[in-house]
């Protein structure tokens, strides 16, 4: 079970490294390099998803599962990004926004399908933090991010998510964010919840990843950075596992 493994590792003081693959950007020409880099870095989880509608999710999931022995978890941006072939799904509620479709609407529509698949459902409270630019997540979700200088709002939102029964809290700066979620917000949220904390968005350097780890993130998600430099995967994995 993915969630039980996450809890076991956190309980022993370990942090987890997750790589986010956007199917729209999945480089078929460099597929062998991607697989080889994944084998070398051996992340704890592979997340698959993006903000745009596409029909490549199942293909990407199949390729990853056929070549790697790493749990593949859907990180869907919309109802088109579902496949029964994944090991699990982050069943995301965008609790920082007020778009009813992303709070419950899409969940109702997809629940019967997901129940039939038997895949592990990971209920996740998703909190978008202003990363200094308008990101794809903000535009596509039609929601405003929480201001980066308002940690108290992020904390209250995370607490509410846990009280509503979310199993994970995900602090997101947005794909390609100029600024990652600040250490102040990560630390404040971690201090006030008892469930695992995921942090992603804008983590494209060793120093930024280090700050997120030191501030209390349990799971670090990296996407855009490795797309530009595959060698970062191994560096990030080694760093994260020193904590």
Q: Which range has the worst mean pLDDT, 5-14, 76-85, 211-220?
A: 76-85
**pLDDT at res. 55:** 78
3-state secondary structure 132-156: CCCCHHHHHHCCCCECCCCHHHHHH
Give me the CATH code for the 2-240 domain, please.
Answer: 3.20.20.390
Binding site residues for Mg(2+), as ranges?
A: 22, 51
Please report the pLDDT score of residue 91 as a whole number: 98
Does position 27 have pLDDT exceeding 70, yes or no?
no
Q: What residues form DSSP beta bridges with 122?
A: 90
Better-scored residue on pLDDT, 95 or 37: 95
The binding site for sn-glycerol 1-phosphate consists of: 170-176, 201-202, 223-224
Q: Mind giving me the DSSP string for the chain?
A: -HHHHHHHHHHTT--EEEEEE-GGG--GGGHHHHHHHHHHH--SEEEE--SS--S-HHHHHHHHHHH--S-EEE--SSTTS--TTSSEEEEEEETTS--HIIIIIHHHHHHHHHHHH-PEEEEEEEEEB--SS--HHHHHHT-PPBPTT-HHHHHHHHHHHHHTT-SEEEEE--TT-SSPPPHHHHHHHHHH-SS-EEEESS--SHHHHHHHHHHT-SEEEE-HHHHH-THHHHHHHHHHTT-
Annotated binding site: 22, 51, 170-176, 201-202, 223-224
Ranges of each domain in the chain: 2-240
- Which residue from 25, 38, 113 is spatially nearest to 71, judged by alpha carbons? 38
Q: What pLDDT is recorded for position 1?
A: 93
Q: How confident is the model at residue 163 (pLDDT cuts 50, 70, 90)?
A: very high
């Amino acid at each position: 079970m993915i969630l039980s493994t996450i809890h076991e590792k956190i309980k022993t003081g370990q942090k987890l490294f997750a790589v986010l693959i956007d199917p729209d950007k999945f480089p078929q020409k460099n597929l062998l390099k991607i697989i080889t880099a994944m084998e070398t870095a051996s992340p704890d989880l592979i997340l698959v998803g993006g903000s745009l509608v596409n029909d490549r999710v199942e293909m990407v999931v199949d390729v990853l599962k056929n070549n790697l022995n790493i749990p593949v978890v859907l990180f869907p941006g919309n109802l088109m990004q579902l496949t029964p072939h994944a090991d699990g799904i982050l069943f995301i509620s965008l609790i920082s926004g007020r778009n009813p479709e992303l709070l419950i609407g899409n969940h109702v529509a997809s629940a019967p399908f997901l129940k039939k698949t038997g895949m592990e459902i990971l209920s996740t409270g998703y909190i978008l933090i202003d990363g200094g630019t308008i990101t794809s997540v903000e535009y596509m979700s039609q929601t405003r991010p929480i201001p980066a200088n308002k940690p108290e709002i992020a904390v209250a939102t995370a607490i509410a998510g846990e009280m509503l029964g979310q199993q994970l809290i995900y602090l997101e700066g947005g794909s390609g964010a100029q600024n990652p979620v600040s250490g102040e917000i990560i630390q404040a949220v971690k201090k006030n919840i008892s469930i695992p904390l995921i942090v992603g968005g804008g983590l494209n350097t060793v120093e930024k990843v280090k700050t997120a780890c030191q501030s209390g993130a349990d799971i670090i998600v990296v996407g855009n950075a490795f797309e530009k430099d595959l060698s970062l995967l191994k560096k990030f994995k080694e760093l994260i596992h020193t904590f």
